[in-house]
Amino acid sequence: MTSKALQSFLEANISDLKERGLYSEIDPVQGANGPVINIDGKELVNLSSNNYLGLATDERLKEVAKEAVDSHGVGAGAVRTINGTMDLHLELERKLAEFKGTEAVISYQSGFNCNMAAISAVMDKHDAILSDELNHASIIDGSRLSRAKIIRFNHSDMDDLRAKAKEAIESGAYNKVMVITDGVFSMDGDIAKLPEIVEIAEEFDLITYVDDAHGSGVLGKGAGTVKHFGLQEKIDFQMGTLSKAIGVIGGYVAGKAELIDWLKVRSRPFLFSTAVSPADAVASTKAVDLLMASTVLNEKLWENSNYLKDGLQKLGFDIGNSETPITPCILGDEKDTQAFSKRLYEEGIYAKSIVFPTVPRGTGRVRNMPTAAHTKEMLDDALAAYEKIGKELGLI
């Protein structure tokens, strides 16, 4: 029998979300998540995936994944610390360390797991974490799990960061202080001010942590935000995901060998959760190989990104301060934003609305993610739909 208290809670709160335009529908994709997708029998230009380089459907990755299933099975069979570590996992970590320019790498089941694992393995209730106010939910949750004092600083405000770092250090209340930031902020597409953050970190002896989920494969000719600024020797933790530009699933932390050794014996998702499948490990390795061998996909991504941005701006849409392929069209009102996204769907364009609590109230946006796999014709179709709906709703 369902609890009456639970039933009452769910009915009231789901109804409230729907009334305020904050309830998100899930659209199952039939087939592969490529530049064009099929939802409920309708073919749509896909501008909502994180598959930046189109690698999720790349034949070269599919081939090695199939071979790994034949040679190593469909699952790792155990956690990494028992006998779930296969030669394929070690090769992936070796390749990632080379790619990121660090001494070592530890891989996890997802990027979210990385932040839950790495932050809490190093920080505790005697420490403090300086966290950008727009950091990803996984950073927030990982910081909470550590039980460290969380001190938010204004988004990319270096004066505020410096003042709060100074106060935290001079208070003498904490054993360690970490500054943590996204490399690329996923809702606005702006880039963290890493050179200034490093300067402040060196002044106050802060531990530095960069979540580069949306920077890896995109910035630094693919090697990420830290490489973009040439700061590989200055950042203690480089977190990355294998689920976005790499096109597969998983995450990793790159850094000094001693740090990685510590995470292997103290980070709980590594200790208590089964390793990623052999197919995922080898497909990720292949993707990294491709990025290290050529910048063609990265260049195509930026070409398509600039084309879409230019087109939207010429139409009069507000794309905010994006410096990366993440291209928000900021509309403001939550209900208007969801209505715009639904009209795009009707016109054959899949671009998901993003509203509170993912972004602050009143900053609803349709978030566009051009990839290397899109053709100019697909992007032209998207721009034509934006123009039609913008005029129809009196937005341009």
The structure's pTM equals 0.93
Which residue among the candidates 138, 146, 186, 243 is catalytic per the annotation?
186
Question: In CATH, what is the architecture of 23-52+295-392?
Answer: Alpha-Beta Complex (3.90)
What pLDDT score was predicted for residue 22? 75
pLDDT at 19: 86
Q: Residue 159: its pLDDT value, please?
A: 98
Residue 150 near residue 127 (C-beta atoms within 8 A)? no
Just give the CATH number of 57-293: 3.40.640.10
**Whether 244 is catalytic:** yes
**Per-residue pLDDT at 215:** 96
pLDDT of residue 219: 96
Query: Which positions of the chain have pLDDT values less than 50?
Result: none
Catalytic-labelled residue, pool 89, 214, 352, 374? 214
Residue among 75, 101, 95 nearest 86 (CA) = 75
What is the reported pLDDT for 25?
Answer: 80
Q: Is 186 a known active-site residue?
A: yes
Of the residues 95, 100, 164, 244, only one is catalytic, namely 244
User: Which three-class secondary structure string do you get for the chain?
Assistant: CCCHHHHHHHHHHHHHHHHCCCCCCCCCCCCCCCCEEEECCEEEEECCCCCCCCHHHCHHHHHHHHHHHHHHCCCCCCEHHHHHCCHHHHHHHHHHHHHHCCCEEEEECCHHHHHHHHHHHHCCCCCEEEEECCCCHHHHHHHHHHCCEEEEECCCCHHHHHHHHHHHHHHCCCCCEEEEEECECCCCCCECCHHHHHHHHHHHCCEEEEECCCCCCCCHHHCCHHHHCCCCCCCCEEEEECCCCCCCCCEEEEECHHHHHHHHHHCHHHHHCECCCHHHHHHHHHHHHHHHHCCHHHHHHHHHHHHHHHHHHHHCCCCCCCCCCCEEEEEECHHHHHHHHHHHHHCCEECCEECCCCCCCCCEEEEECCCCCCCHHHHHHHHHHHHHHHHHCCCC
- Residue ranges covered by each domain of the chain: 23-52+295-392, 57-293
